[in-house]
Amino acid sequence: MSSSALRLLVVALLLCLVAACSSSPEPAPTPTSTATAPAATATATPTIAPTATATATATPAPIALWVDSAAPDLVSEPVLSRGGLVRATEADGADAVLALSAEATSLEVVLVPVVPFPTIPDEVAWEEVLRFWGGDETALSYLGDGAAAPTLMLSEAVKALLVAALGEPAQSAPIALVEQDELVDLAWDSRPGAWSIVPFDQLEPRWKALRIDGVNALLKGLAEQEWPLRFYFGVTGERAADVVVPSVSNRDEVRLSVLVMTGVTAMVRGTAARMEQNGLLYPVEYVAEVLQSADIAHVSNEIPFAESCPPPDMNQESLVFCSDPRYIETLRHLGTDVVELTGNHFQDWGSEATEFTVRMYNQEGWVHYGGGIDLEDARSTKFHARNGNSFSFIGCNPVGPEYAWAAEGYPGAAPCDFDYMHAELERVSAVVDVPIATWQYWEFYHYEPTPQQQEEFRGMVDAGARIVSGSQAHHPQAIEFYNGGFIHYGLGNFLFDQMWSLGTRQECIDRHIVYDGRHVSTEVLTYMLEDYAQPRPMTAEERTELLTSLFAASGW
């Protein structure tokens, strides 16, 4: 072997050794995933925008509302309380103006002309009111002594409203500014010779609310009638549309309840005979509408219905009475809601007839009180509610005879337990708007109440009654305002045949007005019994005669 070949062989061997020393085992295969790998998404580098300068939201400027001095708080406060308003000090420059409106709006104020309760006239003509405002010295003189115009006593707020509506009164018009809470007392002290105009919601029973041209503000449906003392307020001005105007009235009929209370009902003897001759509705021909239009109609029916009741006798001498069950149609036609059972004839035909009568009333859905199927039913307080106003009724009979009184398991009229009644009145007066107490008291044929009668009627008011009424009287009796309560010692007959004297023919129906939980007014409606059965409205002369007698007996 040549030397050159030997050198090539050595180089090859050296290269082989180098390759062997640097080699390594083949790596294990990497498992292949069956999932498709997501495409890589490049994360965008956020671009930081320059910070914008915050722009503050502008708060709307409050609306400057100017309130006319004629607008009472009743109207202005609900508007101002809605927020976003400030009260402007003057009309110039105000954004909006609250003032009288010639158009009907949702802001309403109703005023009522009034006189002290013991005043004979019941009505004024609007034309005369305007003449009075204009300074006519003889206008409305009949509200006073008949010689000169009486003084018109007004609160400052009412005068401002009247001036805005009617203009300034004549300087000669006898008008006096009086604090609202002093008005009725000063008017009573000045009678006859004072009258006033007050907001409807500030009426109280010591006022007599006067009709205007025959329209009565105390009754339902005034909105459909002409009443010149109804005023509306509206908002005008550049930003008027931004002012929220609520619905406000000081005479909302949804909160007004009318309760009518009557005297003695006894459909027997001459009354029953006329019903048989002329029809069951003959006695109530002239009075039905008054009771039907009331929210609550009260009747004090002394007589039980009995299926065995004999035909009526005009000349019946016995004082044991019953009525034909058909006669309930007369009470039904009146729209009766509440039946008083304190009469001492309620048990005349025995327990079976008494229980039968109570069942008839229950079937009609009428509330009964002052008598019942047993002592508990007879003496318990009964309740009624209308238009958001609540009433309670309790009654008793202190006279007897004993057989007429209810007892344990025995029907009849509730005997008087004054401690129990006073406790009941105190209890319910905390939860009821108008607690009422009535009874079959001892019967007197004169207008004046007796001292004992006064003491016991007043005791019911002291215990919590707001209205106390004598249902026993066959002869009308006096009226009294006592300790915040209204007392009528006797209303006289309602449906009974006593034609033998003027006093027994004279009848009163009391129409009580309750507004927003408060007894605000009472109207004494007067009737004259005719033909042994039928009360008719009194003539003006007859009404004057009766009211004059009642007011004198009342100490007025």
Domain ranges for the chain: 107-251, 254-553
Q: What is the pLDDT of residue 59?
A: 65
Sign of the CA dihedral running 332, 338, 344, 346: positive
- What average pLDDT does range 313-330 have in this prediction? 96
- What average pLDDT does range 451-464 have in this prediction? 98
3-state secondary structure 423-471: HHHHHHCCCCCEEEEEECCCCCCCCCCCHHHHHHHHHHHHHCCCEEEEC
Q: Would you place residue 57 in the very low, low, confident or very high pLDDT band (cuts 50, 70, 90)?
A: low
Q: What is the DSSP string of 341-405?
A: ---TTTTTT-HHHHHHHHHHHHHHT-EEESEESSHHHHHS-EEEEETTEEEEEEEEBSS--GGGB
User: Rounded distance, CA 519 to CA 486, Å?
Assistant: 9
User: Rounded distance, CA 71 to CA 157, Å?
Assistant: 8
- What average pLDDT does range 372-378 have in this prediction? 97
Sign of the CA dihedral running 352, 338, 485, 196: negative
Q: What is the DSSP string of 83-118?
A: SSEEE-SSSTT-SEEEEEESS--SEEEEEEEEEESS
- What average pLDDT does range 124-152 have in this prediction? 95
| 404-452 tens-digit pLDDT | 999 999 999 999 999 999 999 999 999 999 999 999 999 999 999 999 9
User: Rounded distance, CA 298 to CA 386, Å?
Assistant: 14
For residue 132, the SS3 value is helix
Residues 6+ apart with CB under 8 A from 483: 458, 461, 462
User: Rounded distance, CA 131 to CA 134, Å?
Assistant: 5
- What average pLDDT does range 370-381 have in this prediction? 98
Do the Cβ atoms of 513 and 519 come closer than 8 Å? yes
From 500, 446, 455, select the one nearest 475 (Cα to Cα).
Answer: 446
- What average pLDDT does range 140-167 have in this prediction? 95
- What average pLDDT does range 472-493 have in this prediction? 97
Say if strands 296-301 and 338-340 run parallel, antiparallel, or are unpaired.
parallel
Residue 122, token pair as written in the block? 């019941």
Indicate the average pLDDT of the chain: 91
User: Rounded distance, CA 450 to CA 477, Å?
Assistant: 10
Do the Cβ atoms of 146 and 155 come closer than 8 Å? no
- What average pLDDT does range 317-339 have in this prediction? 97
Q: What is the pTM of this model?
A: 0.88
Q: What is the pLDDT of residue 45?
A: 41
My answer on whether omega of the bond before 192 falls inside 30° of 0, hence cis, is yes
> Bigger pLDDT: 10 or 234?
234
Q: Would you place residue 23 in the very low, low, confident or very high pLDDT band (cuts 50, 70, 90)?
A: very low
pLDDT at 269 over 50: yes
Do the Cβ atoms of 90 and 69 come closer than 8 Å? no
Which phi-psi region, left, alpha or beta, contains residue 281 (left: φ > 0; alpha: ψ -120 to 50)? alpha
Say if strands 107-116 and 382-386 run parallel, antiparallel, or are unpaired.
unpaired
User: Rounded distance, CA 90 to CA 72, Å?
Assistant: 17
Q: What is the pLDDT of residue 56?
A: 53
- Candidate CATH numbers 3.40.50.300, 3.60.21.10, 2.10.10.90, 3.30.1330.30; the one for domain 254-553: 3.60.21.10
Q: What is the DSSP letter of 473?
A: -
Q: Phi and psi of 255, rounded to 5°? A: -105, 15
Do the Cβ atoms of 150 and 197 come closer than 8 Å? no
pLDDT at 239 over 70: yes
- What average pLDDT does range 226-247 have in this prediction? 95
Do the Cβ atoms of 463 and 420 come closer than 8 Å? no
Q: What is the pLDDT of residue 9?
A: 41
Degrees to nearest 5, angle at CA 498 with 493 and 504: 55
Q: What is the pLDDT of residue 147?
A: 87
Q: Would you place residue 152 in the very low, low, confident or very high pLDDT band (cuts 50, 70, 90)?
A: very high
User: Rounded distance, CA 313 to CA 320, Å?
Assistant: 12
Q: Phi and psi of 123, rounded to 5°? A: -150, 150
pLDDT at 27 over 80: no
Q: How many CB atoms lie within 10 A of CB 351?
A: 16
For residue 176, the SS3 value is strand
Residue 338, token pair as written in the block? 């509440």
User: Rounded distance, CA 64 to CA 495, Å?
Assistant: 63
CATH 3.40.190.10 fits 107-251, yes or no: yes
Q: What is the pLDDT of residue 58?
A: 61
For residue 49, the SS3 value is coil
Q: Would you place residue 83 in the very low, low, confident or very high pLDDT band (cuts 50, 70, 90)?
A: confident
Q: Could you give the residue ranges of the DSSP H alpha helices within 154-199?
A: 156-166, 183-189
pLDDT at 30 over 50: no
pLDDT at 19 over 90: no
pLDDT at 552 over 60: yes
**Exposed e or buried b per residue across 78-100, where buried means at least 16 C-beta atoms within 10 angstroms of its C-beta:** ebbeeeebeebeeeeebbbbbbb
Please report, rounded to a whole number, the percentage of residues in the chain having pLDDT higher than 90.
87
- How many Å separate Cα 39 from the centre of its chain? 81
Say if strands 194-199 and 107-116 run parallel, antiparallel, or are unpaired.
antiparallel
Q: What is the pLDDT of residue 82?
A: 84
Q: Would you place residue 360 in the very low, low, confident or very high pLDDT band (cuts 50, 70, 90)?
A: very high
- What average pLDDT does range 152-166 have in this prediction? 97
pLDDT at 390 over 90: yes
CA 303 → CA 265, 272, 359, 394, 507, distances in Å?
8, 12, 14, 19, 19
Q: What is the pLDDT of residue 145?
A: 87
User: Rounded distance, CA 5 to CA 137, Å?
Assistant: 165
pLDDT at 364 over 70: yes
My answer on whether omega of the bond before 27 falls inside 30° of 0, hence cis, is no
From 495, 493, 492, 474, select the one nearest 274 (Cα to Cα).
Answer: 495
Q: Would you place residue 60 in the very low, low, confident or very high pLDDT band (cuts 50, 70, 90)?
A: confident
The lowest-confidence range among 14-28, 141-155, 375-389 is 14-28
Q: Which helix (H) or strand (E) holds 13?
A: helix 3-22
